[in-house]
């Protein structure tokens, strides 16, 4: 039985990368799930967020804002399960078991750990190190089979397979599915607007490097106008983007927003200068993103309603998670009386 799970950290503003690489694809999966009869489950991973310090009031606001962004992007709490990770304690419970299954060496190889902990890893939280085991628990507590993510999460989903395989081997049962990372679509890695070799990220010190889902039309147009490019005109074929990281990124963003591909964008804009392309991209971005930020702002006016929706989501999630945790405890040899 197929089941789709994915999550996003409420650890700051949401970027165009989160939208194109994740949220918008979640909506496609929701619709496919409805048609083909499988469940889709999307989470605000607040337990992951606190692996680096979060101000409590900001965490609460960002968690609601992420819920609002999910809904504003087209996720429907009647069609998908939308909830907050810490409201389903089974995630943390299964994560403990996975902490005992996963090996230190596996965690040490994670590039996100290496990037985030940096040279000063002695000062990183223990939670940051164990982060991927909690992520595996998020996925496997629902026996999810497909996990749509951006390129940067591939290694973590692959580790989830390793954890599932080792658990199944250690306890002699084909209990957890070997999950597939699903990395598809035009924009699986949206790059910084200031440096085409760096990922667009909510933690980039420069706000000009990213488009936030809460940016207004002027900010979006301005950031695209100021985006770094080279002096050449756009090529008429994709091969012409070779070695032109910034140009490739802007064309890719255009294609993803327009719902087409890079080749078709270049058929329209090949031979044109960035002075023509950037305003067109700015206009398209505003057209696609403004309705989302407007709807988000509306939803944020009634935080109690958001809390009610995600509370209900957590109940539905627990109905699936509880029996799977129970079976896991059983396999591990823990008394349930």
In the β-sheet with 3-8, what is the strand arrangement from edge to edge?
Answer: 81-84, 39-44, 3-8, 146-148, 180-182
147 near ligand TYM, judged by CB under 6 A? yes
Instruction: Classify residue 56 as exposed, middle or buried by CB count within 10 Å of its CB (0-12, 13-18, 19+).
Output: exposed
Region near ligand TYM per CB under 6 A, out of 71-79, 149-157, 212-220, 273-281:
149-157
Nearest-approach distance from CB 116 to ligand TYM, in angstroms: 10
Instruction: Classify residue 298 as exposed, middle or buried by CB count within 10 Å of its CB (0-12, 13-18, 19+).
Output: exposed
Residue 163's closest CA among 139, 195, 185, 146?
Answer: 139
Per DSSP, helices labelled H in 171-273 are: 217-226, 245-258, 262-269
CB nearer ligand TYM, residue 187 or residue 234: 187
79, 116, 154, 166: which is the annotated catalytic residue? 116
What is the dihedral sign for C-alpha 108, 113, 114, 120?
negative
**What's the CA gap between 219 and 298, in Å, rounded?**
20
48 near ligand TYM, judged by CB under 6 A? yes
Q: Quick one: which of 27, 45, 81, 130 contacts ligand TYM (CB under 6 A)? A: 45
Q: Quick one: which of 24, 146, 199, 318 contacts ligand TYM (CB under 6 A)? A: 199
22 near ligand TYM, judged by CB under 6 A? yes
Q: Is 114 a catalytic residue?
A: no
* Residue 231 is assigned to a ligand binding site: no
CB nearer ligand TYM, residue 53 or residue 172: 53
Nearest-approach distance from CB 163 to ligand TYM, in angstroms: 12
Cβ atoms within 10 Å, residue 44: 27
79, 166, 202, 316: which is the annotated catalytic residue? 202
* Residue 201 is assigned to a ligand binding site: yes
Q: Quick one: which of 60, 61, 166, 189 contacts ligand TYM (CB under 6 A)? A: 189
What is the dihedral sign for C-alpha 48, 294, 149, 35?
positive
Q: Is 226 a catalytic residue?
A: no
Place of tokens 């889709």: 40
188 near ligand TYM, judged by CB under 6 A? yes
Q: Is 166 a catalytic residue?
A: no
138 near ligand TYM, judged by CB under 6 A? yes
Taking 3-state DSSP, the helix, strand and coil percentages for the chain, each rounded to the nearest 5, stand at: 60, 10, 30
Place of tokens 């999810």: 144
* Residue 198 is assigned to a ligand binding site: no
Distance of CA 238 to the CA centre of its chain: 27
Active-site residue set: 116, 199, 202
Q: Which residues are annotated as part of the binding site?
A: 9-11, 17-18, 138, 150-152, 190, 199-203
**Contacts with ligand TYM, residue ranges (CB under 6 A):** 5-9, 17-18, 21-22, 45, 48, 135, 138-139, 147, 149-150, 152-153, 156, 187-190, 199-200
Q: Please enumerate, by residue number, every residue annotated as part of a binding site for ATP.
A: 9-11, 17-18, 150-152, 190, 199-203
């Amino acid at each position: 039985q197929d089941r789709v799970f994915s999550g996003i950290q409420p650890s700051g503003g949401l970027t165009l990368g989160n939208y194109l690489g994740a949220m918008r694809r979640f909506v496609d999966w929701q619709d496919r799930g409805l048609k083909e009869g499988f469940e889709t489950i999307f989470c605000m991973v607040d337990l992951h967020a606190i692996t680096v310090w979060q101000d409590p009031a900001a965490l609460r606001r960002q968690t609601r804002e992420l819920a609002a962004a999910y809904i504003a992007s087209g996720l429907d709490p009647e069609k998908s399960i939308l909830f907050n990770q810490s409201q389903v304690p089974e995630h943390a419970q299964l994560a403990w078991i996975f902490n005992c299954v996963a090996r230190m060496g596996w965690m040490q190889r994670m590039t996100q750990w290496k990037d985030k902990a940096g040279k000063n890893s002695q000062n990183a939280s223990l939670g940051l190190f164990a982060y991927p085991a909690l992520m595996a628990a998020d996925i496997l507590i629902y026996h999810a089979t497909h996990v749509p993510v951006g390129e940067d999460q591939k290694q973590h989903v692959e580790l989830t397979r390793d954890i599932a395989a080792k658990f199944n081997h250690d306890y002699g049962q084909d209990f957890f599915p070997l999950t597939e990372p699903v990395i598809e679509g035009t924009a699986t890695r949206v790059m910084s607007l200031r440096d085409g070799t760096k990922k667009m990220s909510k933690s980039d010190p420069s706000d000009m490097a990213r488009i936030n889902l809460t940016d207004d039309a002027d900010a979006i147009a301005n950031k695209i106008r100021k985006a770094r490019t080279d002096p050449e005109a756009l090529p008429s074929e994709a091969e012409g983007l070779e070695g032109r990281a910034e140009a490739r990124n802007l064309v890719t963003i255009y294609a993803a927003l327009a719902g087409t591909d890079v080749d078709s964008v270049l058929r329209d804009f090949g031979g044109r200068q960035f002075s023509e392309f950037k305003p067109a991209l700015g206009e398209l971005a505003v057209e696609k993103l403004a309705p989302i930020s407007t709807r988000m702002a509306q939803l944020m006016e009634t935080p109690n309603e958001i809390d009610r929706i995600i509370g209900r989501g957590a109940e539905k999630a627990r109905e699936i998670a509880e029996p799977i945790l129970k079976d896991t405890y059983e396999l591990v040899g823990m008394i349930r009386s």
